[in-house]
Amino acid sequence: MEIRPNLDPQSGVPIYRQLGDYLQRLIETGDLRSGDRLPPTRELAGQLGLNRTTISAAYELLEAVGLIKGEVGRGSYVCGGPEQRTETLNWSRALTSSVSAPIVNHAGSAASGVINFTSSRPSEKLFPIEEFRECCREVLESRNLKTLMQLGSPGGYEPLRRYLLDRAIQSGIARDSDDILITNGCQQAFDLLRRALVRRGEKVALEEPVYPGLKNLFLEAGAELIGIPAGASGKDKDEGIDLYSVQRAFEAGAKVLVVTPSFQNPTGATMPARHRAEVCRMARSAGVAIIENDIYSELACDSDHSLPRLKQLDQNVILLGSFSKIAFPGIRVGWIIAPRAVIARATELKQLADLHTDHLSQAFLLRFAESGKLARHQAIVIAAAREKLRALDQSCRRYLANCSWTVPGGGMNMWITLPAGLDAVALRGLAQQAGIDYLPGRYFSVSRPLDSGLRLSFAGLDPNEIRKGIEILGALVQNAASAREARDAHPALALV
Amino acid sequence: MEIRPNLDPQSGVPIYRQLGDYLQRLIETGDLRSGDRLPPTRELAGQLGLNRTTISAAYELLEAVGLIKGEVGRGSYVCGGPEQRTETLNWSRALTSSVSAPIVNHAGSAASGVINFTSSRPSEKLFPIEEFRECCREVLESRNLKTLMQLGSPGGYEPLRRYLLDRAIQSGIARDSDDILITNGCQQAFDLLRRALVRRGEKVALEEPVYPGLKNLFLEAGAELIGIPAGASGKDKDEGIDLYSVQRAFEAGAKVLVVTPSFQNPTGATMPARHRAEVCRMARSAGVAIIENDIYSELACDSDHSLPRLKQLDQNVILLGSFSKIAFPGIRVGWIIAPRAVIARATELKQLADLHTDHLSQAFLLRFAESGKLARHQAIVIAAAREKLRALDQSCRRYLANCSWTVPGGGMNMWITLPAGLDAVALRGLAQQAGIDYLPGRYFSVSRPLDSGLRLSFAGLDPNEIRKGIEILGALVQNAASAREARDAHPALALV
């Protein structure tokens, strides 16, 4: 075995260290084996053109970690080897097991050319790159930059906290008894509130269908989930949440109720005012904490959409907001507005979770909001969304006559229920081949199968893509339904 | 009660909504009480110069949430009131209780003028503002910005992942069997690994004294902690970890061992090579997972400091790195390098925790590292740190002759043990009055009291501040020790 290390005096790593690492790799790869003798230091020094003490230092390093052994008068021998070093821990036993179904990774999951209805995220075509860049530049050029680069407070960047809380108080959403915590988007808000409110084995009531990131979070924490039917399964039925199921969940001892009253994910449904008041009344009387996920309400296209937040109806409500849906999800900033006691505990947990939310992103988004650019961006997004909703409405009427659906008044998602007997999981493979993709209802189930449901996330698509996509879906559904009818009309003879 | 709302047609909020909110506030504040009659819609419309349908819409809103009640022919009456609406949940019962001691909030905790030894963070005086600004500008101007603003992958920004993992593989720290996850600083890395590896009631071995953010995280998760004496309590004793205690902890069933082999927080101690190899050997044979907190090793001032990482000695080791100590802690980016199975589970948990780490910060720091600016910054920080360590060494020799201490070879912290009988908590009040602040040892204890220890965090201070601070501390210790000797020489008579 020839020893020919590639030593780089410019690398900053001391030469003896580079040599030691090189020899260690030879041992680990099995090129040097247990029992092999290393060249004497003098010999190797001459061969490599190095000082003899450098070679000795490298050998000492290997000896210290038990890879070689020096014997007086006999030189150094390899005593470790790959056989003992590749031994791995039994990770499948060491790691906690995943209790949740695999989560779909939305980012770039669809093949190119496919009309992708799978991701509840804004369209990057509408991102106001130049305006946002300008806000970032202003922050970077401010004298404040040094402070932003330094460690901050767990509660968040103070000017952003003040801005968001003042605005919420002025619009009647928050009260003086409330406080705020800045989080890494609303997903972290849920994670912190889960730790603040839910002990292992306790019951949590969630709307069903529900966003899997929410369900899995509570499942991982060992909570027992109760699904509350929500959404709109047809023109004739009230949108919103099933009040009787809420009552039942509270009687069964649910400790927390999580709701998305406006443009719920995945159904797109909005709770009417009557349900909002009633849910608050029931929770108050049962002593149940409500978490109100309010990340979509500012994406209302309908000018009529001025329903009160639950937080306005009851000060106990814990309200979650985020810039992810109204601005840019890659920049992770959300918040919790809640009574002081809740924020105090959540802030303590935030410090344990990651000290505090990234400073620059908080400052960038604050500038974007304060400068009025966020409001202008929102107006553009909403105008575009109106076109998308119109395309959805027209196409669903035209192509999905045998499905049931309700086009929402805003948000990013809508729910389709296929004709009886069709399965959205089975249909998905055909859909992908035909050039569209969606998420089957089963991803969103808490306890019911929801096999005939599917979610269409439309915010990232153009009206033309939406029309084309629904047309493709409509044809698939038509074919599948006809095939099924044909099968039903000519049943196979029973084997007797 | 006169109704005089401040209505703003420019605000974007519909007028009926503004009026409804105004009336709701009157009811909540008690200005309108249960039973009060609201003016008829026609009358109020005339009074406010509004359309009657606007008034009706506002009343309907209040009726929907149960605050007023309309009776045919009799008009609308208030039926809710502050008495029922200010009722709050019993939060002290609803919230999970904090099992950890309150954490000191480092940010700006010391009064101005006080020499603040409390915070293990870099000096902002050394921040290379202009160089960092330039990197940020380059990222903001790149065509990539749109992608950075969009939702990303839970594992992190791909170019940063590749950069960090490749570098670790090239320097022999990582292997091809390893993978990487980007986190919000190393605190989140601990939080995710805690969820990936530790179930409630399981045993975790930590160095003692230890950083409280680490201890509290495992306590909150219901782990049982075992403290492994670590550090350097005097010139005569080996630095590092107590191997016998490690062996005992493994025999007692510890599942995970967390160590900071280089410049441990709070002791500043570094494990010798012999300990590193031995700890790896013991963990391998006991099947214990090692988490190696490697956030300080690149702050080595001693050119001799080229000890192997534990990760180099054993592929099972889970290595944590971070930009927070070597660059800027306000920008929250750290990472985990570990065998694929560990990263797969941690990534799943990362997605539940907050989807992914902020994109812009990842891109900014990647640019800062790739451009060579990080390496230049590190060289400056290390040159400055040498001066700080020299000041520490000189001042400790001069003023702290009756204490024991070891000046570290790098990092941000050192540990002082006061003369027998002195209490660092009691001394702290006097220290603050005298113009310095530090953290008493008790904050860092796992199971031992550590009353005579204290941590000095020096990285944020100038050599002159360090000298002045140690001089003040020395005088305080001297006085306290003399007072104690005087007391011991003249004991109070026992009461008989």
* pLDDT tens digits, B275-285: 999 999 999 99
Contact: B197, A85; criterion CB under 8 Å: no
Four-CA torsion B398, B402, B404, B410, nearest 10 degrees: -20
- CB-CB neighbors (< 8 A) of B253 in chain A: none
Q: Which residues of B touch A359 (CB under 8 A)?
A: 330-332
For residue A37, the SS3 value is: strand
- From residue A410, alpha-carbon distances to A235, A319, A329, A441, B69 in Å are 17, 19, 18, 20, 30
Who among A85, A151, A277 is closest to B329 (CB)? A151
The pLDDT tens digits for B453-486 are 999 999 999 999 999 999 999 999 999 999 888 8
Mean pLDDT of B379-389: 96
Q: Do B331 and A64 touch (CB under 8 A)?
A: no
- Smallest Cα distance from B307 to chain A, Å: 8
Residue B12 gets the label, from left (phi > 0), alpha (psi -120 to 50) or beta, of: left
At B182, the amino acid letter reads: I
| Greatest C-alpha distance within chain A | 95
Q: Which tokens hold the place of A346? A: 């959540």
Residue B367's SS3 state is helix
DSSP 3-state of B432: helix
Q: Which ranges of A371-494 does DSSP label H, i.e. alpha helix?
A: 373-399, 424-434, 463-489
Is residue A129 less than 8 Å (CB to CB) from chain B?
yes
d(CA A30, CA A81): 7
The average confidence (pLDDT) of chain B is 89
- Collect all residues of chain A within an 8 Å Cβ-Cβ radius of residue B92: 341
* pLDDT mean across residues, chain A: 89
> Which residues does chain A have within 8 Å of residue B329's beta carbon, measured at their own beta carbons?
149-151, 355
User: What are the chain A neighbours of B154 within 8 Å (beta carbons)?
Assistant: 105
What's the pLDDT tens digit per position in A160-179?
A: 999 999 999 998 899 989 99
Q: Which residue of B has its CA nearest to A214?
A: B352
Interface subset of B 49-88, CB within 8 angstroms of A? 61, 64-66, 85-88
DSSP designation for A358: -
In terms of C-beta density within 10 A (0-12 exposed, 13-18 middle, 19 or more buried), how is residue A284 classed?
Answer: buried
Report CB contact under 8 Å: A352, B150. Answer: no
Which of A149, A181, A276 is the best substitution to test chain B (most B C-beta atoms within 10 A)? A149
CA dihedral A431, A435, A441, A443 (to 10 degrees): 110
Q: Which of residues 404-443 of B touch A (CB under 8 A)?
A: none
Q: Is B197 on the interface with A (CB under 8 A)?
A: yes
Query: Is the CB of residue A92 less than 8 Å from the CB of residue B341?
Result: yes
CA-closest candidate to residue B161, choices B335, B312, B332: B335
- In the β-sheet with B289-293, what is the strand arrangement from edge to edge? B178-183, B334-339, B318-322, B289-293, B256-259, B203-208, B224-229
State how far the Cα of A186 lies from the Cα of A192, in Å rounded to an integer.
10
Cβ neighbours of A83 (radius 10 Å): 10
- Residues A99 and A220 sit within 8 Å (Cβ to Cβ): yes
Q: In CATH, what class is A127-371? A: alpha beta
User: A108 pLDDT band (50/70/90 cuts)?
Assistant: very low
Please report, rounded to a whole number, the percentage of residues in chain A having pLDDT higher than 70: 92
Least confident of A374-388, A394-408, B250-264, B303-317: B303-317
What average pLDDT score do residues B314-326 get? 95
By C-alpha distance, which of B381, B474, B324, B266 is closest to B466? Answer: B474
Q: Which of A96, A184, A360 sits opposite B199 (nearest CB)?
A: A96
Backbone angles phi, psi at B152, to 5 degrees: -120, -160
Chain A: closest CA distance from residue B28 (Å) = 10
Chain B environment of A152 (Cβ under 8 Å): 107, 330
Q: Is B442 helix (H, G, I), strand (E, B) or coil?
A: helix
User: Does A150 contact B354 at a Cβ distance shorter than 8 Å?
Assistant: no
Asked if A187 lies within 8 A of B352 by C-beta distance, the reply is: yes
Put simply, whether A378 touches B (Cβ < 8 Å) is no
**Distance from the B15 Cα atom to the nearest Cα atom in chain A, whole angstroms:** 11
What is the structure's pLDDT at B128? 96
For residue B215, the chain A residues in CB contact (below 8 A) are: none
pLDDT tens for residues A234-267? Answer: 444 567 899 999 999 999 999 999 999 999 999 9
**Domain boundaries of chain B, sorted by first residue:** 15-85, 115-119+375-484, 127-371
Q: Measured between beta carbons, which residues in chain B are less than 8 angstroms from residue A316?
A: 88-89
Q: What is the pLDDT of residue B282?
A: 95
- Residue A235's pLDDT is 47
Domains B15-85 and B115-119+375-484 share a fold: no
Residue B495 has pLDDT above 80, yes or no: no
CATH class of the B15-85 domain in this structure: mainly alpha
Phi and psi torsions of B476, nearest 5°: -65, -45
Give pLDDT, residue A140.
97
- Please choose, from the candidates A267, A216, A229, A261, the residue with its C-alpha nearest in 3D space to the C-alpha of residue A99: A216
| A274 vs B64, B85, B360: nearest CB | B64
Which residues between 300 and 319 in chain A have a beta carbon less than 8 angstroms from any beta carbon of chain B? 303, 306, 308, 312-316
Q: Residue A89 CA to chain centroid, in angstroms?
A: 30
- Is some CB atom of chain A closer than 8 A to the CB atom of B483? no
How high is the pLDDT of residue A36? Answer: 84
Task: Specify the pLDDT at position B162.
Answer: 97
Report the chain A residue with the minimal C-alpha distance to residue B309.
A65
Interface A:B, Cβ pairs < 8 A: 309
Residue of B nearest to A132 (CA): B140
> Nearest-CA residue of chain A relative to B256?
A94
Among A457, A456, A453, A467, which residue's Cα sits nearest to residue A403?
A453
Helix axis angle for A340-354 and B185-197, nearest 10°, is 90
B185 contacts in A (CB within 8 Å)? Answer: 354-355
The three-state secondary structure class of A256 is strand
Please answer yes or no on whether B197 and A341 come within 8 Å at the CB atom: no
Is B380 touching A (CB cutoff 8 A)? no
Name the residue with higher pLDDT: B23 or B190.
B190
CB pair distance less than 8 Å for A303 and B103: no
Residues within 8 A of A (CB atoms), B 226-255 only: 255
* Residue position matching structure tokens 């007028």: B15
Phi/psi for A320 (5° steps) reads -110, 130
Domain A115-120+375-481 sits in CATH at 3.90.1150.10
Give residue B210's region: left, alpha or beta (phi > 0; psi -120 to 50): beta
Q: Does B95 touch chain A (CB under 8 A)?
A: yes
User: How far apart are alpha carbons A397 and A419 in whole angstroms?
Assistant: 15
Higher pLDDT, B61 or B425: B425
pLDDT of residue B26: 85
CA distance B331 to chain A (A): 5
What is the model's pTM?
Answer: 0.84
pLDDT interval class at B229 (50, 70, 90): very high
Angle at B426 between CA B422 and CA B430, to 5 degrees: 105
User: Would you call A358 and B17 a contact, using CB atoms and an 8 Å cutoff?
Assistant: no
All residues of chain B having their beta carbon less than 8 Å from the beta carbon of residue A277 are 64-66
Q: Does residue B200 belong to the interface with chain A, where contact is any CB pair within 8 Å?
A: yes
**B255 confidence band (pLDDT: 50, 70, 90):** very high
**A339-372: pLDDT as tens digits:** 999 999 999 999 999 999 999 999 999 999 999 9
Record the tokens describing residue B414, joined without a space: 């050192």
- CATH number among 3.40.30.10, 3.40.50.10490, 3.40.1350.10, 3.90.1150.10, domain B115-119+375-484: 3.90.1150.10
pLDDT of the residue at B302: 78
The answer to whether the Cβ–Cβ distance between B95 and A281 falls below 8 Å is no
b (16+ CB within 10 A) / e for A245-260: bbeebbeeebbbbbbb
Number of other residues whose CB lies within 10 A of the CB of residue B179: 20
- Candidates A41, A28, A146; CA nearest to A83 is A28
